[in-house]
């Protein structure tokens, strides 16, 4: 009975979404305030029913209700409680439910935090979000109902995919969905602005904090996914250019271009068409990612059960949403004013350059992801666009991106005198070239790529410091810095500062771990020792172990440096009982400047094991960079000027309401 | 009107992409049977992965029911699939491998690390044989019967589910046929 309530709640949510999509929009066009006023309560109604539905599915997992097909497929009585909860979004149906719940969460967030905006703008934004919700809710109800019943009821469930029984992967999808779905807010603001024909810097200012927060979630989601792949898949990689990874990376790239372009539109009123297009693109790429993951068009480690009927449904939905929005863009774009002009050398032009580079990279990732499909469709024969292809594309386009990134904060809006720019960049340029050359020297086992990476990172850091120094010219000392952070627009600047530092840290991590990592595949007998770099590894055998829903062999490897034991690692080889799927759990000694990473291969005879040993310098910096980028984004989103406007206009709207009611009474 | 047309460019690009995706759906490798099904296995002669001087050819498949598994060290899904191949080999299933567009040293190291479920591996550095066999992507697994005819093809990694419900019943049925 309870699961049917969950199903019913979904249907009611769909009804709410339909009302939310139609009435506020129509009301905003024919000026019917009652219809406009419907937007917020209906958004809340939808959220309540979706939460109820989600709660009921979670409950079914917690009480092992195997009469629900989805629970029977992915639940299990032996599953630890945390994974019973994460199993809710462990497969297609439930993850889609999480997706619409999060969409609804963003909708009510927009509904409650936009009291300062004109009502008809909010009504249109919520309408567009309602339309998106209709698409996903129908997809859920008509092709992927999570509450479908199963009879006869099995005594035990099919268990959650062992790859997903891990904390990192329990929280990875919600973060990523927060990012994907969050891009729908920028999208809806753009559509609302196109409908209303009002594309101005106010529109950019309203969109900015929402876009930043969504982008931060996307950053966290991608970073978590990379970290998970590193410790869970057992071969020490942190990114694989897998179609599903690319599906999350493309909206991130477009989102990065968007937050920079929004800055230009807000500050200078320029780039309006471009910014709108990017807002449409960022969310379109999120939708495309969904299509790629769920349609089975491309094979991937992450793929959900492929179903062509579902694929066709999403494709139709893509056509409606993306096609419709691009059509609206084509109709309205000619009427959008050009905005502030700028010289060939100005912050605008550098940001435009960066935007184009980011889009070129996005296009290349898209091309690489779809290459197998393209070649198949046009019968061009077969090629493998694999890891090396992506890497070389990246090595080609990232350096100019970083060069521009360093120079842009030191460049003036509108027009910059080249000689003055060169003067302020001189020192940073000198330091980074020297640092790069030193790193590339063969005496220090340097390499050209390491030299380039160090030069670029140092360039980023020194230009950031130069810009900070210029900024704090009139505010000396720590007190001046704190005052500057607290100032209007301060957090925007320092957010940029932290995020760009994150990029520098990330570049170092990626390059060093690619250039200097050492790996060794060896056969080890119990008691045997192996030297790797400065470290000595001793294998003390493996013993059987029984977990709640798996059996395992746990190895013991002691690591010595200069004769002193520095750590004991316990890599595991697990076999999950229900799905009889073997899994590796790497043993990792994490460090600021290096990781030591061991994983167990196959058991050989006489208690010997195939063992894989890694020394991974600076690998943590990859994720440290990701964390810094996310913190920077949050800092920028929390800038008081977004809130001050809220407060100011709250006061304003209260007065307006007061006047209105006074009129009524009069 | 020309101004309007200019701004249609993104829409046109998207429609082209959608067309490709639609084609992709109908090309879904899991649905469309390979044209090679029920045809004799394409002939090939390649060096062995472990012994470059020795050749292996399709004649090795004759007389027994055989799996021909296409794999590469650069393929992530192959790593996922590998332990299942190990289990199949332990159950006595005959598996030959086609090491596809790979490096010899890396492939040898892989087998040392993760175990070797293959009776032998053909080393197809240029991917010529892969093209003849209509390989769509790695991993792929062909089922070849006693007469050397391709009877089935599984695209993407094997799963315990597909092995239990698809592969093993088929192998059993093919074993009972005359050679």
Highest mean pLDDT among A61-65, A391-395, A480-484: A61-65
- pLDDT band at A488; cut points 50, 70, 90: confident
Q: Which residues of A touch B22 (CB under 8 A)?
A: 315
Token couple for B37: 């099904």
- Number of inter-chain CB pairs under 8 A, A vs B: 119
In this prediction, residue A240 carries a pLDDT of 78
- pLDDT band at A175; cut points 50, 70, 90: very high
Please check the confidence at residue A625 and state whether its pLDDT lies above 90: yes
Cα-based distances in Å from A372 to A362, A383, A581, B29, B89: 17, 7, 28, 12, 30
Please check the confidence at residue A457 and state whether its pLDDT lies above 80: yes
Rounded Cα–Cα distance for residues A232 and A217 (Å):
22
For residues A432-436, give the mean pLDDT: 92
Query: Is residue B3 included in any domain, yes or no?
Result: no
- pLDDT band at A660; cut points 50, 70, 90: very low
In this prediction, residue A34 carries a pLDDT of 92
In this prediction, residue A601 carries a pLDDT of 80
In this prediction, residue A235 carries a pLDDT of 66
Q: Do A373 and B24 count as a contact with CB atoms less than 8 A apart?
A: yes
Cα-based distances in Å from A642 to A124, A206, A648: 21, 8, 10
In this prediction, residue A658 carries a pLDDT of 35
Q: Which residues of A touch B30 (CB under 8 A)?
A: 296, 306
Q: Do B23 and A373 count as a contact with CB atoms less than 8 A apart?
A: yes
Please check the confidence at residue A123 and state whether its pLDDT lies above 80: yes
More confident call, A449 vs A430: A430
Rounded Cα–Cα distance for residues B152 and B179 (Å):
17
Please check the confidence at residue A99 and state whether its pLDDT lies above 90: yes
The torsion defined by the Cα of A80, A81, A86 and A92, in degrees rounded to 10, comes to 80
For residues A334-361, give the mean pLDDT: 89
Residue to substitute from A331, A382, A605, interface B, most B β-carbons within 10 A: A382
Query: Is residue B1 included in any domain, yes or no?
Result: no
Write down the mean pLDDT value for chain A. 87
Rounded Cα–Cα distance for residues A318 and A310 (Å):
12
Please check the confidence at residue A113 and state whether its pLDDT lies above 50: yes
In this prediction, residue A612 carries a pLDDT of 85
Please check the confidence at residue A296 and state whether its pLDDT lies above 80: no
Please check the confidence at residue A664 and state whether its pLDDT lies above 50: no
Q: What are phi and psi of B149, to 5 degrees?
A: -105, 135
CB atoms within 10 A of CB A540: 14
Q: What is the pLDDT of residues A365-382, one digit of tens each?
A: 998 888 777 766 666 554
Query: How would you label A443-481 residue by residue, b for 16+ Cβ within 10 Å and e otherwise?
Result: eeebbebbbbbbbbbbbbbbbbebbeeebeeeeeeeeeb
Please check the confidence at residue A301 and state whether its pLDDT lies above 50: no
- pLDDT band at A50; cut points 50, 70, 90: very high
B113 and A521 Cβ atoms separated by less than 8 Å? yes
Q: What is the pLDDT of residues A464-478, one digit of tens each?
A: 999 999 988 888 888
Please check the confidence at residue A328 and state whether its pLDDT lies above 50: yes
Largest CA distance in chain B: 72
Global ipTM: 0.80
Token couple for A513: 């771990």
Contacts of A575 (CB under 8 A, 6+ apart): A550, A551, A552, A581, A582, A583
Rounded Cα–Cα distance for residues A372 and B24 (Å):
10
Query: Is residue B19 included in any domain, yes or no?
Result: no
Query: Is residue B46 included in any domain, yes or no?
Result: yes
In this prediction, residue A662 carries a pLDDT of 31
Hey, CA dihedral for B35, B39, B45, B51, is it positive or negative?
Answer: positive
In this prediction, residue A377 carries a pLDDT of 67
CB atoms within 10 A of CB A309: 11
Please check the confidence at residue A420 and state whether its pLDDT lies above 60: yes
Residue A446 exposure: Cα atoms within 13 Å on the Cβ side = 17
Query: Is residue B90 included in any domain, yes or no?
Result: yes
**Which of A322, A373, A382 is closest, CB to CB, to B135?**
A382
- Cα A580 from chain centroid? 32
In this prediction, residue A152 carries a pLDDT of 85
**What is the extent of the structural domain holding B137?**
36-176
Rounded Cα–Cα distance for residues A275 and A190 (Å):
9
Q: Which residues of A touch B23 (CB under 8 A)?
A: 373, 377
More confident call, A491 vs A391: A491
Please check the confidence at residue A656 and state whether its pLDDT lies above 70: no
CB atoms within 10 A of CB B1: 6
A254 and A359 Cβ atoms separated by less than 8 Å? yes
**Which of A297, A377, A382 is closest, CB to CB, to B131?**
A382
Query: Is residue B150 included in any domain, yes or no?
Result: yes
Q: What are phi and psi of A283, to 5 degrees?
A: -75, -35
For residues A39-68, give the mean pLDDT: 96
In this prediction, residue B32 carries a pLDDT of 44
Query: Is residue B27 included in any domain, yes or no?
Result: no
**Which of A295, A323, A329 is closest, CB to CB, to B25?**
A295
Please check the confidence at residue A531 and state whether its pLDDT lies above 80: yes
Tell me B167's DSSP state: I
- Cα A538 from chain centroid? 40
In this prediction, residue B100 carries a pLDDT of 86
Query: Is residue B29 included in any domain, yes or no?
Result: no
The CATH number covering residue B115 comes to 3.40.30.10
Please check the confidence at residue A238 and state whether its pLDDT lies above 90: no
- How do strand A535-546 and strand A550-561 relate by DSSP bridges? antiparallel
Place of tokens 């930043």: A212
Please check the confidence at residue A558 and state whether its pLDDT lies above 90: yes
A155 and A227 Cβ atoms separated by less than 8 Å? no
Q: Which residues of B touch A369 (CB under 8 A)?
A: none
Please check the confidence at residue A648 and state whether its pLDDT lies above 60: no
Residue A583 exposure: Cα atoms within 13 Å on the Cβ side = 23
Examine residue A152 and say whether the peptide bond preceding it is cis (omega within 30 degrees of 0).
yes
Q: Which residues of B touch A581 (CB under 8 A)?
A: 83, 160
Rounded Cα–Cα distance for residues A175 and B46 (Å):
48
- pLDDT band at A400; cut points 50, 70, 90: very high
More confident call, A353 vs B113: A353
**Which of A284, A291, A329 is closest, CB to CB, to B21?**
A291
Rounded Cα–Cα distance for residues B116 and B103 (Å):
16
- pLDDT band at A645; cut points 50, 70, 90: low
Tens digit of pLDDT at every position of chain B (179 positions): 566 677 888 899 999 888 888 877 765 544 445 667 888 888 888 999 988 888 898 888 888 899 999 998 877 678 778 888 998 998 889 999 999 888 888 888 888 878 899 999 999 887 778 878 877 667 889 999 988 888 888 877 788 878 888 899 999 999 888 76
Q: What is the number of domains present in chain B? A: 1
In this prediction, residue A304 carries a pLDDT of 47
Contacts of A643 (CB under 8 A, 6+ apart): none
């Amino acid at each position: 009975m309870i699961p049917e309530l969950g199903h019913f709640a979904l249907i009611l949510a769909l009804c709410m979404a339909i009302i939310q999509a139609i009435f506020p929009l129509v009301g905003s066009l024919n000026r019917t305030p009652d219809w406009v006023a419907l937007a917020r309560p209906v958004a809340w109604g939808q959220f309540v029913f979706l939460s109820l539905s989600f709660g009921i599915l979670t409950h079914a997992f917690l009480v092992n209700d195997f009469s629900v097909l989805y629970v029977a497929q992915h639940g299990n009585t032996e599953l630890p409680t945390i994974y019973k909860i994460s199993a809710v979004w462990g497969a297609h149906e439930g993850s889609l439910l999480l997706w619409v719940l999060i969409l609804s969460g963003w909708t009510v967030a927009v509904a409650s935090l936009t009291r300062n905006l004109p009502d008809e703008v909010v009504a249109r934004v919520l309408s567009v979000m309602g339309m998106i919700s209709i698409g996903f809710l129908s997809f859920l109800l008509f092709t992927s109902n999570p509450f479908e019943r199963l009879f006869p009821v099995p005594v035990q469930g099919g268990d959650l995919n062992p790859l997903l029984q891990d904390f990192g992967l329990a929280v990875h999808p919600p973060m990523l969905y927060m990012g994907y779905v969050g891009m729908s807010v920028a999208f809806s603001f753009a559509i609302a602005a196109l409908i209303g024909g009002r594309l101005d810097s106010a529109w950019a200012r309203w969109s900015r904090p929402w876009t930043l927060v969504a982008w931060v979630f996307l950053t966290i989601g991608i970073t978590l996914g990379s970290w998970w792949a590193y410790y869970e898949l057992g071969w020490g990689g942190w990114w694989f250019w897998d179609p599903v990874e690319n599906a999350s990376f493309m909206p991130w790239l477009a989102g990065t271009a968007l937050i920079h372009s929004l800055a230009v539109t807000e500050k200078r009123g320029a780039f309006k068409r471009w910014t709108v297009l990017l807002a449409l693109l960022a969310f379109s790429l999120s939708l495309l990612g969904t299509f790629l993951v769920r349609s089975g068009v491309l094979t991937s480690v992450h793929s959900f059960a492929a179903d062509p009927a579902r694929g066709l449904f999403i494709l139709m939905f893509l056509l409606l949403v993306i096609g419709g929005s691009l059509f609206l863009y084509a109709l309205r774009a000619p009427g959008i004013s050009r905005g502030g002009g700028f010289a060939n050398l100005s912050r605008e032009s550098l940001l435009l350059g960066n935007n184009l580079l980011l889009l070129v990279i996005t296009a290349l990732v898209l091309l690489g992801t779809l290459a197998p499909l393209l070649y198949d469709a046009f019968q061009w024969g077969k090629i493998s666009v694999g890891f090396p292809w992506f890497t070389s594309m990246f090595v080609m386009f990232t350096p100019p991106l970083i060069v521009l990134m360093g120079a842009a904060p030191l460049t003036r809006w509108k027009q910059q005198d080249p000689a003055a720019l060169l003067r302020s960049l001189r020192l940073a340029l000198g330091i980074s070239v020297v640092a790069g050359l030193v790193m590339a020297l063969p005496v220090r086992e340097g390499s050209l790529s390491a030299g380039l990476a160090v030069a670029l990172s140092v360039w980023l850091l020194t230009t950031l410091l130069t810009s900070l120094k210029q900024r704090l010219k009139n505010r000396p000392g720590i007190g001046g810095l704190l005052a500057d952070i607290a100032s209007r627009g301060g957090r925007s600047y320092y957010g940029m500062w932290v995020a760009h530092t994150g990029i520098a840290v990330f570049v170092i991590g990626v390059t060093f771990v690619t250039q200097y990592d050492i790996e060794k595949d060896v056969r080890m007998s119990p008691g045997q020792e192996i030297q790797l770099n400065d470290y000595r590894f001793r294998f003390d055998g493996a013993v059987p172990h029984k977990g709640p829903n798996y059996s395992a062999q746990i190895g013991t490897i002691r690591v010595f440096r200069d004769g002193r034991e520095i750590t004991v690692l316990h890599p595991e080889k697990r076999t999950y009982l229900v799905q009889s799927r073997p899994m590796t759990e790497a043993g990792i000694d994490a460090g600021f400047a290096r990781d030591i990473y061991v994983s167990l291969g196959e058991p050989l005879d006489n208690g010997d094991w195939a063992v894989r040993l890694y020394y991974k310098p600076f690998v943590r910096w990859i994720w440290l960079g990701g964390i810094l980028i996310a913190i920077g984004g949050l800092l920028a989103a929390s800038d008081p000027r977004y809130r001050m406007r809220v407060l100011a206009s709250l006061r304003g709207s209260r007065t307006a309401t007061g006047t209105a009611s006074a009129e009524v009474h009069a | 009107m020309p101004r309007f047309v200019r701004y249609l460019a993104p829409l046109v690009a998207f429609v082209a992409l959608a067309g490709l995706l639609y084609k992709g759906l109908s090309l879904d490798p899991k649905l469309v049977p390979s044209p090679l099904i029920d045809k004799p296995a394409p002939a090939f002669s390649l060096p062995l992965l472990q012994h470059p001087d020795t050749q292996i050819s399709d004649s090795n498949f004759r007389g027994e029911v055989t799996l021909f598994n296409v794999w590469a060290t650069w393929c992530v899904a192959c790593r996922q699939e590998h332990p299942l191949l190990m289990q199949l080999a332990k159950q006595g299933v005959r598996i030959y491998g086609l090491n596809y567009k790979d490096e010899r040293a890396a492939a040898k190291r892989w087998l040392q690390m993760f175990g070797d479920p293959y009776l032998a591996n053909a080393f197809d550095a240029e991917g010529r044989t892969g093209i003849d066999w209509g390989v769509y992507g790695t991993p792929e697994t062909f089922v070849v019967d006693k007469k050397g005819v391709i009877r089935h093809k599984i695209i993407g990694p094997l799963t315990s589910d597909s092995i239990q419900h698809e592969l093993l019943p088929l192998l059993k049925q093919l074993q009972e046929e005359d050679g």
